[in-house]
Chains A and B, each alone.
Chain A
């Protein structure tokens, strides 16, 4: 039976939805193994079993997090060899893509990023050129390495849970020799909102918010969504660069994207046009964002947004 290996970097106290999505895809491809790095809580190990993992690979070294991706790629290559997997699935994060990149060179394996769906025969679906094309691509190699975007599949559990076998994989001794070392870490204040690229709802502001993201934050919270921003807003210093949606920022594909005070220049559109439903609020009726909005409001966001927030609170009681 074909085997698929899922890499989960630092699973934490509970499996993330994106990890469960990778496990769901892996099961559709064959027998599932998981290679993790970091601490593994008992209930996470049980959850991995409940989602079909038959083997859990752990690295022989505990210091992989002290370096940028290179040693993790070396460990994962060893885990692929140990598992005999034909497909490796990783998260489509910056680190996930780079581990995939290096793994591809180590194994002479084709790497496909930004995947939104995988067929049983390994054909990967993705969208390219900022969502203007949908393509299918396939690795031409014995091993395929795929990085999958969040919210790509509905999470399913298998009928029968397994009790995975734990196997330690030897991290090559030279894995850290020529790797960049992380020497300092400053934690950023947590917003309490969902992560932008994984959020089901995104409320984003641009030049039109004129330095005041307060009302948009309240709307995001009322909807349980994440806050985003255009480059104009992050360049103005009104909000951190982490919030930037667009070609030079993050690409998002939520169920609902509310754009407030953003004109919708093509670089912005590039980051959000695959959103399922787009709402635009802008004073300028000529804004290009209205060309792609499912629901557009020509009006002052400082009037419309607080009114909507109040109405949502009222209806949710």
Chain B
């Protein structure tokens, strides 16, 4: 099985995050592998291992699009266990919205599938920066693949995928045929950590550096120029300031209700 896992280098949510520059794009210093992508990578590794891993002809390719630093998301994925990586980087990609991002990623996936077809594209349920959840569905549309999003379980039997999706009112069983695109939630598995052996092994693994020219995408189709939306203004929200803090002296529940009544919230 040939699986491409999308991995994104995102600003660490442990720190304050910023928009910057004329296009109001995200500042990517202090970035890490998006936590939600670790579940997609784990799902890919489990599928590969269940089929005999590399010896069984399985391949897990970690693909990231982004500036130079984004290669770190690929490197981390190789340490965790991906068999190879690809890093799509080009100055023209800066400021791409979901439409431009999915266009470039679709071309990169076609490139990676040129010698042998990609069976499965796996992604996290959302990035932890943009959080639009648009890219998986747009990729599926562009690649003409069935999409199974928000999978909380995933089984592949031959070319048949079965997944579970948990909604608020019901849980659905969903079926599709490979090749397909699947996005997974954080309920699907427990991602593993890189171990020493993995870190050493990763140094020998190949990372393919891709540019727009390699994947046949024109610079005008991506970046701010090719984006179909533009962020016009961005204002930092004033930080919330702490209000009244009291220590319970036996009547805090009553005081809480007084506060709610004063705020007209009862």
A interface residue numbers (CB < 8 A to B)? 68-70, 73, 94, 97-98, 100-102, 104-106, 108-114, 123, 127-141, 178-188, 190, 195-196, 201, 223, 241-242, 247-248, 255-256, 266-267, 270, 273, 277-279, 281, 285, 290-300, 303-312, 315-316
Question: Do B232 and A137 touch (CB < 8 A)?
Answer: yes
> Interface centre among B146, B232, B260, by most A CB within 10 Å?
B260
Residues on A with beta carbons closer than 8 Å to the beta carbon of B248: 297-300, 303-304
Question: Do A104 and B147 touch (CB < 8 A)?
Answer: no
The answer to whether A111 and B256 touch (CB under 8 A), given A185-B172, A291-B240, A296-B242, is no
Question: Do B144 and A178 touch (CB < 8 A)?
Answer: yes
**In chain B, residues 226-266, which have Cβ atoms closer than 8 Å to a Cβ of chain A?**
227-237, 240, 242-248, 250-257, 259-261, 263, 265-266
Residues on B with beta carbons closer than 8 Å to the beta carbon of A305: 253
Partner of B134, one of A111, A123, A134, A311: A111
Is B128's CB within 8 Å of the partner chain A? yes
Q: How far is the CB of B53 from chain A (nearest CB, A)?
A: 27
Partner of B253, one of A69, A98, A296, A311: A311
Main secondary structure of the interface of B (DSSP, over half): mixed
Residues on A with beta carbons closer than 8 Å to the beta carbon of B128: 247
Q: What are the nearest 10 A-B pairs in CB distance? A: A307-B253, A299-B248, A184-B173, A110-B228, A101-B137, A308-B253, A294-B243, A180-B176, A110-B229, A296-B245
Residues on B with beta carbons closer than 8 Å to the beta carbon of A68: 146-149, 174
Question: Do A304 and B245 touch (CB < 8 A)?
Answer: no
6 pairs, CB–CB < 8 Å, chain A vs chain B: A114-B131, A185-B172, A188-B170, A201-B265, A266-B14, A298-B247
Q: Tally chain B residues at the interface, Cβ within 8 Å.
A: 85
Residues on A with beta carbons closer than 8 Å to the beta carbon of B137: 69, 97-98, 101-102
Q: How far is the CB of A224 from chain B (nearest CB, A)?
A: 10
Nearest neighbor of A97 in chain B, beta-carbon distance? B133
Is B157's CB within 8 Å of the partner chain A? no
Q: How far is the CB of B227 from chain A (nearest CB, A)?
A: 7
Partner of B19, one of A129, A255, A292: A129
Question: Do B147 and A94 touch (CB < 8 A)?
Answer: no
